[in-house]
Structure 1
Amino acid sequence: MVIRLASLLVALTLVFCQEDNEIVTKNFLGIGRMQAVAVSGRLICNGRPATNIKIKLYENEILFDRLMEESRTDSNGQFRVSGSKREISRIDPKVNVYHKCNYNGLCSKKFTIKIPKDYINRGSQAERTYDIGTLNLANKYPGESTDCIN
């Protein structure tokens, strides 16, 4: 009975997945591979630098997204966030931007930018940075909403 239970546990910990046409054996109980990503950009509001804007880098998960790093824009509206996570499959990073440009509500406006897979690398440090360029927060963005608990 103990041998069967131990064999079952070992079998359950191994996961076989195909990635980039290569079959890889992973340990389901915490052993994956470290992956990293970095994002930078500049935010403006009506032509002026958007200072102190909250930026959050998340790993998109099924139930709850995992915060990788939080930052704020500097006096020129620039930011850079980076993070890493150990994951069995490829990470699915995104950046949330929280702002009040041209908005007087109690909460913040929020929009999300998904990060292309080309900017994810193995390891704990990002090798490349995804530059979103300069975004005017006065514009409307797809999926934009309000968020009171950011």
Structure 2
Amino acid sequence: MFIRFALLFVLALAFCEGAENATISKNILGIGRMQSVAVSGRLICQGSPASNIKLKLYENEILFDRLMEEGRSDSNGQFRLSGSKREITSIDPKLNIYHKCNYNGLCYRKFTIKIPKDFVNTGSQPERTYDIGTLNLANRYSGESTDCIN
């Protein structure tokens, strides 16, 4: 009877779609494959380097996005972030950029850049880096919002 209960519990974890249980089952049971991604670029604000800009690399999840790495742009506005995650399906990475270029509010302007699937690879170290190029934070971007809790 105990063996049946244990087997049922393990199977429930393995096939559960809830965020916490799915993470537990992937980590304990080793389900899925390790995948990694990297993104780089340069940020400017009206022609000057945008230094110390907060950047977060996430795996886009159904309920709660999972932070893979967080960083800031350097004195030249340049950055590079990378991260990895064990997942059954292909990971869906995105980069969130939080800044105050041309903005005097209490919160931050925020926009998201989705990273193409071509730049996701198997393994814990990324093989290629998605270069977003140079972005002027003074511009308005599709889906841009304000964020006070970043």
Q: Which runs of 5+ in 1 are unaligned?
A: 16-27
Q: Normalising by structure 2, what TM-score?
A: 0.85
With over 3 angstroms needed to count, the CA separation of the structure-2 counterparts of 1:37 and 1:29, relative to structure 1, is: closer
1:51 CA displacement? 0.6
Deviations for 1:85-110, whole angstroms, at most 9, x for unmatched residues?
11111111100000000000000000
Q: Which residue of 2 aligns with 1:131?
A: 131
Match in the other structure for 1:48:
48
Q: Alpha-carbon deviations, 1:43-69, whole Å to 9, x = none?
A: 000011101100100011111111111
Q: Which residue matches 1:23? A: none
5+ residue gaps in structure 2? 16-24
Q: Residue 117 of structure 1 corresponds to which residue in structure 2?
A: 117
C-alpha separation between the residues in 1 aligned to 2:42 and 2:33?
31
Cα distance in structure 2, aligned partners of 1:29 and 1:108? 34
Classify the secondary structure of the residue corresponding to 2:85: strand
Change in Cα spacing, 1:13 to 1:64, as seen in structure 2 (3 Å) is closer
Task: Give 1 or 2: higher strand fraction.
Answer: 1
Q: 1:3 to 1:112 in 2, by over 3 A?
A: same
Cα shift readout 1:88-145 (whole Å, capped 9, x = no counterpart): 1111110000000000000000000000000000000000000000000010000000
Q: Does 1:39 align with 2:43?
A: no
Structure 1 residue ranges, 4+ long, deviating more than 3 angstroms after superposition: 1-15
Higher Rg of the two aligned structures: 1
RMSD, aligned CA: 1.8
Q: Is the 8 A contact 2:26 2:87 kept in 1?
A: no
Distance in 2 between the 1:56 and 1:137 partners?
A: 16
Aligned to 2:20: none
Alignment correspondent of 1:87:
87
Shift of 1:75: 0.9
CA distance in 1 between partners of 2:144 and 2:40 (Å): 20
Identity of aligned residues (%): 76
CA deviation digits over 1:28-57, x for unaligned, max 9? 543211100000000000011101100100
